[in-house]
Amino acid sequence: MIEDKDEGPAVGPAAANDPGEGAAGDVPDEGLAAAPEERLAAVESELADTKDRLLRALAETENVRRRLQRERDDAQKYAMANFAKDLLSAVDNLRRALDAMPENEVTDGKARSLRDGVAATEREFLAAFERHGLRRINPKGERFDHNFHQAIFEAERPDVPTGTIVEVLQPGYVLHDRLLRPAMVGVAKGGAKAESENTSEGDAAA
């Protein structure tokens, strides 16, 4: 009598495909799980960088626009500067002619008419200057200011505060807020200090 031998469990394709402990399908893929978060962080970083570059470009464009606007305004505002400078000597000559024949000394009728005509011409020039923002500086009796005045000489004037303009040799001109020509002046010295200096020194001592 022949006994059946126990050949053990059968091994075949079905057994090989049967998922068991330690099968590859049971191990989670950590790389795939982390990929979406990493991609999101990269996109957000790129978006922030693009936004920063865009804001910088907009700011630079605005600065250029403002600079060009300012340059255009200045060009329009001071366009007549060179033309005005060429006219100043003519106006100076009109003033010299008027100073050479004081009104109270002119008795002849023709001379008086001539003087009146010169005075009227000077007034027309100054009125035209004023309309275009050009203003004459005639600072006699005022405090010397190096921003607008050019001192030609100093004169001993004990009765006048030091630094006061006592004579204007040539008037100055200002175009809007820009000095076109400084006034050439004579300045007093040897007198008392100007009131503004005394006031500032008193404030400093206090």
Cα Dmax for the chain: 174
Alpha carbon distance 178, 132 (integer Å):
13
pLDDT tens digits, 7-64: 555 555 444 445 444 444 454 555 444 588 888 888 888 898 999 999 999 999 999 9
Our CA angle for 125, 128, 129, nearest 5°, is: 85
DSSP string across 32-92: HHHHHHHHHHHHHHHHHHHHHHHHHHHHHHHHHHHHHHHHHHHHHHTTTHHHHHHHHHHHH
Q: What is the per-residue pLDDT across 84-113, written as a single tens digit (0 to 9) for each?
A: 899 999 999 999 999 988 888 888 888 899
Q: What is the pLDDT of residues 110-127, one digit of tens each?
A: 889 999 999 999 999 999
Q: ∠ CA 196-200-203 to the nearest 5 degrees?
A: 140
Residue 195 CB contacts under 8 Å (≥ 6 apart), including other chains: 161
- Amino acid identity of 49? D
**So where are the chain's domains?**
135-206
Structure tokens at 139: 């600072």
Residue 159 phi/psi, 5-degree rounding, is -90, 0
Q: Is this prediction's pTM over 0.75?
A: no
Pick the CATH number of 135-206 from 3.40.250.10, 2.30.22.10, 3.40.50.2000, 3.40.50.150: 2.30.22.10
- Contact yes or no for 173/137 (Cβ under 8 A): yes
